[in-house]
Structure 1
Amino acid sequence: MRAGRTGRAGARDRRWSAAFAAGGVVVLLAATTGGAPAAEGEPPPPGQVEFPTHCLPPQEAGLPPADGPTTARISVDDPAPKVGDTVTVTYRIAATPAVNPVASELPADVVTPTGRIVLAGAQSGEVTVVGVRRNDPVPAGAALPGVIMTGTFTVTAPGEITLAPGGYTLHTGHPVDLETACTAAGPAPVSEHLTAAPLPTANLRALTLGTAYGQPGARVAVTGSGFAPGAAVTVAGRTGAAETADRVAATADERGAVRAELPVTDKATTGVVAYEGTAWSARGGSGPAAYTVIEAATVIEAAEVVDAAPPSRGTRKMTAVVEPGALAMTQAGESVTLGAVSYGGGGSAGGRIGTVTVEDTRGGPAGWSLVGRVTDFTGPGGVRIPGASLTWTPRCVAAAGSPSACRAGSAGTVGPEGAVLASTADGAPAGGTFTVDAAVELRVPPYTPPGAYTAVLTLTLS
């Protein structure tokens, strides 16, 4: 079914879009017949380049090769994407040395273009671009019209990525199917570039204590993980946002693990933190892990007072102790199965990670953070889908009576660097039971080889 025309006059600037089903997946393409080169004296559009081209007409045409310049430009929908983002690229050809391969006029809407864009710099490779049949009539012997082709690619590396026009093929469907293949005679000049930002790096440092309370002067066993191997680490007491006088130095081993004993003598200490560098930060430190200093002298004094004034006949002294618990999580199920997509169309494979229950019964002022990271998806023959192609939309609900409020992480890319799934803030009182889940989607490129693709999603609670 042909899309409606906008009129013959000025038809070179018409655009249209069409959706069609491919193996059950709806694909949206956009195309145009292209624009004429800039008029003499006018500056060319930004990014427009010329490169020598060698065009081979179909053998059936009996025509010699056509050599000459191709005038083209490339544009992107997002010049500053992040790793894992999908970028739409547009390849516009304003003029080509390729000519009508038949001895008669080509009618309207019989030229179908395909091509490729060459990536270099931080990311190398090629992007396949396609257009739709949309052209004005082409007289016999005249140059084939300009075209516009579009495609997409997933950003896999941070830094500057350059885009240069590559070869293209012009398929004519009248009176028979014929193809004119055009190749660049040498590297084409760069027409566009973009700068990709790396994914935010999640803080995977974690800290646990051998005990959550003790008398002044007690030595607390501290175990940390996720630090830079060999880094100098400071373990310190903390009260609110300030550090106390309790402090000890440690060194992370080759796996980034830290082990230390912290003497806690400052009665103001309510938590323990560990960090690299000169000061603690939420991005570069771990904790705080809750800790309570028990006033032993106060207990003795109270006992002496009681002994000095024994209770009257028929009364008894009663004492109850509320002991702090731990920070722990459980997850429903052992695996996550995503939906299927078609081979030709690709698309999004959706699913859920399964319910994660976090219980915080430490009784201190420290909040917690639940971070996830995912490996690349590996399929048949070692084919990989980047882990940065997985996105999620987190959800977190606090159970009734929980002192802390639960905050779901931001929707976006998970990737190998990790992202926050859920968290609670520091504050008193803190703790509770929390239910965490997330909807996930894996972007699968078209024509990914069929088969099962498997990755590992790791959740870290700290």
Structure 2
Amino acid sequence: MAVGMAVLAAATGGALSAPAAAEGEPVVTFPTHCLPPQEAGLPPADGPTTARITVDNPAPRVGDTVTVTYQVIATPAVNPAGGELPADALTPTGRILLAGAQNGEVTVVGAQRNDPVLAGAPLPAVTMTGTFTVTAPGEITLAPGAYTLHMSHPLDLDTVCTADAGAPVSERLTATPLPTANLRSVFLAAAHGKPGDKVKVTAAGFTPGAAVTVAGRAGAAETADRVAAAADELGVVRAELPVTDKATTAVVAYEGAAWTAGQGSGPAAYTVIDAAPLPPGTQKLSATVEPGALGMTQTGEDIALGAVSYGDGGAAPGRIGTVTVKDARGGPAGWSLIGKVTDFTGPGGVRIPGASLSWTPSCTAAAGSPSPCTPGSAGVVGQDGAVLASTPDAPLVGGTFTVDATVTLQVPAYTPPGAYTSVLTLTLS
């Protein structure tokens, strides 16, 4: 596992209606009880609400920030004002209910936008958005909750609408866990031997007390050489592996029924030297390809973001120092590069949340690299972390990769002038 850190600095210096539901999107209808403001003197409005929830990322990883949109397409609520409601006088707020792998509520807010509404006429469609951070892997369901339609004319009036028996699920997403560093490793007392020789094996980083298999490998396949052992209370395995299969070129150790990138060590090279006599006048040649390490380097230490004007706020752009990842392990496990950022701290302890920093990653594999490189999704970095780049598991992985990203810090309007600094940490595993 490799870790890189960089310091980021920034300096501050018409009426619309919600669109109709699109074909194929998750529209639901549920009975609603809408209470008009007491000042209106109107009875409750009961009837169906038609709504739709969508997400910007249906397959996030734990730690990702998901943007959700709650659209009320039709509501039984009516204009409670005594006269016409003018344009852009309606502000909606609401809740989205999370269930499944993650429970909770998401608060959503809409813009103050609407066409004029006649007295007593149904209130128009509204759209509200919000965000939440994924905290658990698995399927998460999203259902529409209560919503409030606030009118600022002629008085501040609220119509509150709740689902009589709970609204049905309108959207689902499936979250995957963040990759974790695999610290399992295997060391050999000898790198070569004759057929039948026993090689002393020391493996570390395993679950204490776990059953561990030590096995020979030929490329991505296991050979007939195998022995069972158990990890001690420190997760260390000590075993002697008889190597009889001439095809064996490496030794691995793993927990479970078969080797996996998450439960197994990388390979340790081993050469079987055939002891059979050679014909007169001949010589046997052998060569060993030693596995290397996974590591990264990064250009520069500090990242200077663009300045924004006091009062206006806005986007402060920049770019991270280019990262070069070299994977010379020669095994089947890919890698992931994760970034996390702290809050930006400025004069007098004023903070800009780390969640205000977003990036657009890019990744290029050097010519001849066995693995392809996939950049992470564009979006918020934040303190919970986001994927900058990754390579997949495969029978044989490796290569050299150039990773980059443009970054943007959204600075709120009227942020006190001065320099704001944060720390971006990159973790390779």
TM-score range, shorter chain: 0.5 to 0.7
1:178-229 deviation per Cα after TM superposition (whole angstroms, max 9, x unaligned): 432123468762243433223266474443434672122152434343x555
- Specify the alignment match of 1:197 in structure 2: 174
Matched residues in 1 for 2:407 and 2:97: separation? Answer: 23
1:70-120 deviation per Cα after TM superposition (whole angstroms, max 9, x unaligned): 642331235954343634423215234453525x4345x243322112323
TM-score (norm 1): 0.63
Where does 1:1-80 land on structure 2 (aligned, <5 Å)? 32=17, 46-56=27-37, 63-64=40-41, 67-69=44-46, 71-78=48-55, 80=58
Structure 1 residues 152 and 417: CA distance shift in structure 2, 3 A: closer
1:294-338 deviation per Cα after TM superposition (whole angstroms, max 9, x unaligned): 34666xx79xx78xxxxxxxxxx9x99966545133413586759
CA contact (8 A) 1:115 1:129 kept: yes
- Specify the alignment match of 2:336 in structure 1: 372
Residue 237 of structure 1 and its aligned partner are, at CA, apart by 0.5
Matched residues in 2 for 1:221 and 1:210: separation? Answer: 5
Structure 1 residues 420 and 266: CA distance shift in structure 2, 3 A: farther
Structure 1 residues 76 and 385: CA distance shift in structure 2, 3 A: farther
- Specify the alignment match of 2:213 in structure 1: 234
Q: Which runs of 5+ in 2 are unaligned?
A: 1-11
- 1:32 corresponds to which letter in structure 2? S
Where does 1:448-459 land on structure 2 (aligned, <5 Å)? 454=423, 456-459=425-428
- Specify the alignment match of 2:322 in structure 1: 354
Structure 1 residues 287 and 34: CA distance shift in structure 2, 3 A: closer
CA contact (8 A) 1:409 1:420 kept: yes
CA contact (8 A) 2:35 2:161 kept: yes
Matched residues in 1 for 2:178 and 2:35: separation? Answer: 47
- Asked if 1:332 corresponds to 2:298, the answer is yes
Where does 1:426-445 land on structure 2 (aligned, <5 Å)? 434-440=399-405
% identity of equivalent residues: 25
Matched residues in 1 for 2:29 and 2:319: separation? Answer: 43
Matched residues in 1 for 2:232 and 2:387: separation? Answer: 22
Where does 1:143-292 land on structure 2 (aligned, <5 Å)? 143=121, 145-154=123-132, 156=134, 157=136, 158-172=138-152, 178-184=155-161, 189-199=166-176, 202=179, 204-205=181-182, 206-210=184-188, 213-216=191-194, 217-225=197-205, 227-252=206-231, 258=237, 260-282=239-261, 284-292=263-271
Matched residues in 2 for 1:421 and 1:94: separation? Answer: 43
Residue 282 of structure 1 and its aligned partner are, at CA, apart by 4.9
- 1:397 corresponds to which letter in structure 2? A
Matched residues in 1 for 2:423 and 2:76: separation? Answer: 45
Structure 1 residues 456 and 201: CA distance shift in structure 2, 3 A: same
Matched residues in 1 for 2:312 and 2:130: separation? Answer: 14
Matched residues in 2 for 1:334 and 1:255: separation? Answer: 38
Matched residues in 1 for 2:370 and 2:175: separation? Answer: 27
Query: Aligned pairs, how many?
Result: 384
Structure 1 residues 326 and 146: CA distance shift in structure 2, 3 A: same
The correspondence for 1:294, drawn from 268, 273, 279, is: 273
Structure 1 residues 455 and 231: CA distance shift in structure 2, 3 A: farther
CA contact (8 A) 1:351 1:441 kept: yes
CA contact (8 A) 1:72 1:93 kept: yes
Moved more, 281-290 or 158-167: 281-290
Structure 1 residues 148 and 421: CA distance shift in structure 2, 3 A: same
1:228-287 deviation per Cα after TM superposition (whole angstroms, max 9, x unaligned): 554322110012443223222233456766554434343321112222222234565343
Structure 1 residues 438 and 128: CA distance shift in structure 2, 3 A: same
- 2:92 corresponds to which letter in structure 1? T
Structure 1 residues 390 and 291: CA distance shift in structure 2, 3 A: farther
Residue 383 of structure 1 and its aligned partner are, at CA, apart by 10
Moved more, 123-132 or 251-260: 251-260
- 1:145 corresponds to which letter in structure 2? L
TM-score (norm 2): 0.67
Structure 1 residues 149 and 393: CA distance shift in structure 2, 3 A: same
- 2:268 corresponds to which letter in structure 1? A
Matched residues in 1 for 2:320 and 2:142: separation? Answer: 36
CA contact (8 A) 1:215 1:294 kept: yes
CA contact (8 A) 2:327 2:400 kept: no
Matched residues in 1 for 2:408 and 2:231: separation? Answer: 37
CA contact (8 A) 1:75 1:192 kept: no
Largest Rg, 1 or 2: 1
Where relative contact order (Cα < 8 A, 6+ residues apart) is larger, the structure is 2
Structure 1 residues 419 and 447: CA distance shift in structure 2, 3 A: closer
- Specify the alignment match of 1:101 in structure 2: 81
- 1:435 corresponds to which letter in structure 2? T
Partner of 1:269: helix, strand, or coil?
Answer: coil
Structure 1 residues 34 and 96: CA distance shift in structure 2, 3 A: farther
Matched residues in 1 for 2:93 and 2:171: separation? Answer: 20
- Specify the alignment match of 1:396 in structure 2: 365
- 2:44 corresponds to which letter in structure 1? D
Partner of 2:366: helix, strand, or coil?
Answer: strand
Matched residues in 2 for 1:98 and 1:51: separation? Answer: 13
Where does 1:84-99 land on structure 2 (aligned, <5 Å)? 84=64, 86-92=66-72, 94-99=74-79
Partner of 2:176: helix, strand, or coil?
Answer: coil
CA contact (8 A) 2:374 2:390 kept: yes
Structure 1 residues 268 and 337: CA distance shift in structure 2, 3 A: same
Structure 1 residues 256 and 396: CA distance shift in structure 2, 3 A: farther
